Amino acid sequence: MKKFLLRLSIFLLILWALAMAADLLITRQFKKLESSPFANWNDIYRGDIQSDVLIMGSSRAYVQFNPRILDSMLHIDSYNLGMNGRAVESQIAKYHVYRHEGNAKPKLILYELYQSSLDTSNGYDRIQFAPYLHDPFLWKQIRKVDHFTWADAFLPCWRYRKYKRDIGEILRGTSFYERADQKVYKGFVDYDKPWDGQKFASLDTIHHAHHPLAIAEMKQFLEECREEGIPVVFVIAPFYIGATQKIDDLPGMYRLFHEIADPYGVPILDYTYHPLSYDTAYFYNASHLNRTGATLFTRQLAHDLDSLQWIPR
């Protein structure tokens, strides 16, 4: 019996060591990626982002708010924390990790908001958290959103078990995440794509999200910012006008935004009816501006922020 237990212990120890080695190798490869979303997380975990202005929101933030333009026009240091396919609770969790890792307290937050913002995340791009789940703070922030277990955080390789194909491609250097058009600058992804209105045309109605948990998360976040003296500005970026006209109860959506923002003194910059919104030449789909559109929009945003004297000096 003793001999069996000894052999079992040696076997488990070897298995653990191999799993640890594989875990370290896979994680190291993820942390070399310079593409979205991993470049963003790698910047956060280096803990050296010293930006005055943070941009938060969904993919409509990370492909439409260009830090290079904001920095050059306003003489600031901005950084884009936008998250593709992710709603409020994931966005705020990412901000909390950003602060926890010793990155700079922002002097201003620009929060992109629109029809899908006040929802709960559906697990999209869940792989982005896997390389960093060894961090208990991230795990606690995100586990309820994406249903990560204690084993994902503490057992080597366990968090990668659902991503075998992705890992194989990353190890071979053939991954989607290594495409040239996925390179980022301070969290911003510069997409130069032609208009594709196929999905938009297939929709009769676009529902605006108003999930109670998401609304509560946003209010709590604004309370935290108020307590820390961090101003927040909601920004409704351009949305193709044909899609805007399909949103159910558009006035109700705007009322909800003001019900959330007004008690905290959060101003709303609304570009819903900006001239860009009327021309598909500036979009690659109904909700995302292309490179030209994002450039023009960011310049307009910089001009307006400067004119309203909302930029920290």
- 27: CATH: 3.40.50.1110
Average pLDDT over residues 241-265: 94
- Which residue matches tokens 């998401």? 214
| pTM, to two decimals | 0.92
Over the stretch 197-239, which tens digit does the pLDDT of each residue have? 888 888 888 888 899 999 999 999 999 999 999 999 999 999 9
CA 305 to CA 308: how far, in whole Å?
5
CA 182 to CA 168: how far, in whole Å?
19
Helix, strand or coil for residue 18?
Answer: helix
> What's the order of all strands across the beta sheet hosting 268-270?
78-80, 53-56, 108-112, 232-236, 268-270
pLDDT at residue 203, rounded to an integer: 84
Q: Look at residue 312 and tell me if it is in a domain.
A: no
Cα-Cα-Cα-Cα dihedral of 116, 119, 121, 122, to 10°? -80
- Specify the number of domains making up the chain: 1
Residue pair 294/64 in contact (Cβ under 8 Å)? The answer is yes
Report the half-sphere exposure of 40 (CA within 13 A, side-chain side): 26
Percent helix, percent strand, percent coil in the chain, to nearest 5 = 55, 10, 35
Residue pair 110/54 in contact (Cβ under 8 Å)? The answer is yes
Q: How confident is the model at residue 268 (pLDDT cuts 50, 70, 90)?
A: very high
The backbone torsions φ and ψ at residue 285, rounded to the nearest 5 degrees and listed phi first, read -155, 180
Q: Which of 240, 236, 249 is nearest to 205 (CA)?
A: 249
Over the stretch 123-160, which tens digit does the pLDDT of each residue have? 788 899 999 999 999 999 998 888 899 999 889 999 99
Q: Look at residue 313 and tell me if it is in a domain.
A: no
Over the stretch 147-196, which tens digit does the pLDDT of each residue have? 899 999 889 999 998 888 888 887 776 676 766 556 789 999 988 888 98
Which residues make Cβ contacts (< 8 Å) with residue 1, sequence separation at least 6? none
Lowest mean pLDDT among 7-21, 205-219, 269-283: 7-21
Lowest mean pLDDT among 46-60, 194-208, 247-261: 194-208
pLDDT at residue 94, rounded to an integer: 96
pLDDT at residue 5, rounded to an integer: 67
Rounded (5°) CA angle 243-244-248: 100
The token pair that represents 298 in the structure block: 């960011």
Q: Which domain holds residue 255?
A: 2-307
pLDDT at residue 233, rounded to an integer: 97
